[in-house]
Amino acid sequence: MSLARHPIAAYMTTGLETARPTTSLADVTRELASRRISAVPIVDDHGSIIGVVSRSDLLHHRRVHPHQHDATCATIMTAGPVIAEAQAPLREAAQLMIEHGIHRVFAVEAGRLVGVISTTDLTRAVEVAEVAASIDTIMSSPVSTVRVDQGLALAMEWLDRAHITGLIVTEDDWPIGVFTQEDALAARDLPPTTAVGKLYDPALICLPRETAIHRAAAQCARMGVRRIVVSHQRDFVGVVSGLDFARVVANA
């Protein structure tokens, strides 16, 4: 069976934490931080998924309503989240992620939520399939960056407006880490002028453009890193993220 025909159920994560429309955003924020996940599905009394609250939603709400502390999931959740049948092929999940620009698709059986398939799971699938093409064939360019000395408020605005999950942090025009939505949420109570250099995550992989896709995927999986900076002759020329790995699956 080819990579793209493997069922979603073979790679999805089960045993999900869920929330209700009445759950407070403060509780959801704590849940995302403690479990290191990027979104929480919102379910009704029957266990059917009716929405999702992601880090992107929380960051946008925080930026637009910085002093509103009593909001609930119903206030900001995205209704009608993207779903797929658990036995549908991986290609379907990958195509949905690309079409909607999202990093997860929720899996259902008979209308009930049973799991989630993410770009991280698709990265693992690409590793298993030993996709041999080089990473420069799937990288995205140009790279969204922020200097290590620039302020938190600016970085958070870029994350929100560009609808991206992370910015590559640079010093002297060279990547030294990444500033993610997770970092931004953790820093939500700090002064907006706080330098990104005090907050960013230094965990970053930098690989030559000739590196095989499956080897790059393996490094992401083993090191728990979600982005690869692609280099060529000491210049960084692109970045590979989860959605790029999703394109590999969609085209398999």
Note the pLDDT tens digit of each residue in 29-41.
999 999 988 899 9
pLDDT for res 197: 95
- In this structure, is the dihedral angle defined by the CA atoms of residues 161, 71, 43 and 117, taken in order, positive or negative? positive
Single-letter code of the amino acid located at 64? V
Residues 138 and 140: their CA atoms lie apart, in Å, by 7
Q: Which pair of tokens denotes residue 91?
A: 């290609």
Q: Which CATH architecture fits 3-129? A: Roll (3.10)
Single-letter code of the amino acid located at 236? F
Nearest Cα residue to 25 out of 50, 58, 51: 58
The tokens 């599905």 sit on which residue? 41
**Residue 30: enclosing H or E segment and its boundaries?**
helix 25-35
Identical fold at 3-129 and 135-250?
yes
Nearest Cα residue to 162 out of 63, 73, 251: 63
Angle 28-154-105 (CA atoms, 0-180°, nearest 5)?
A: 40
Q: In the chain, what are the domain boundaries?
A: 3-129, 135-250
Give the global pTM: 0.86
Alpha helices in the chain (DSSP H): 25-35, 55-64, 73-76, 90-100, 119-129, 152-162, 181-186, 213-223, 242-250
CATH topology (fold) of 135-250: CBS-domain (3.10.580)
pLDDT for res 1: 54
Angle 90-92-96 (CA atoms, 0-180°, nearest 5)?
A: 120
The pLDDT of 178-184, averaged and rounded, is 91
Position 229 pLDDT exceeds 70: yes
pLDDT in tens, 84-94: 999 999 999 99
pLDDT for res 40: 96
The answer to whether 166 and 227 have CB atoms below 8 angstroms apart is: yes
Q: How confident is residue 220, by pLDDT bands cut at 50, 70 and 90?
A: very high
Average pLDDT, the chain: 92
Position 188 pLDDT exceeds 90: no
pLDDT for res 152: 94
Residues 164 and 179: their CA atoms lie apart, in Å, by 11
The more confident residue out of 105 and 65 is 105
User: Phi/psi at 130 (nearest 5 deg)?
Assistant: 55, 50
pLDDT for res 187: 87
pLDDT for res 36: 86
The answer to whether 175 and 204 have CB atoms below 8 angstroms apart is: yes
pLDDT for res 82: 96
Position 156 pLDDT exceeds 80: yes
Query: Cα dist. 215→68, 175, 196, 223 in Å?
Result: 45, 21, 30, 12
pLDDT for res 169: 96
pLDDT for res 93: 97
DSSP secondary structure code for residue 169 in this structure: E
pLDDT for res 205: 93
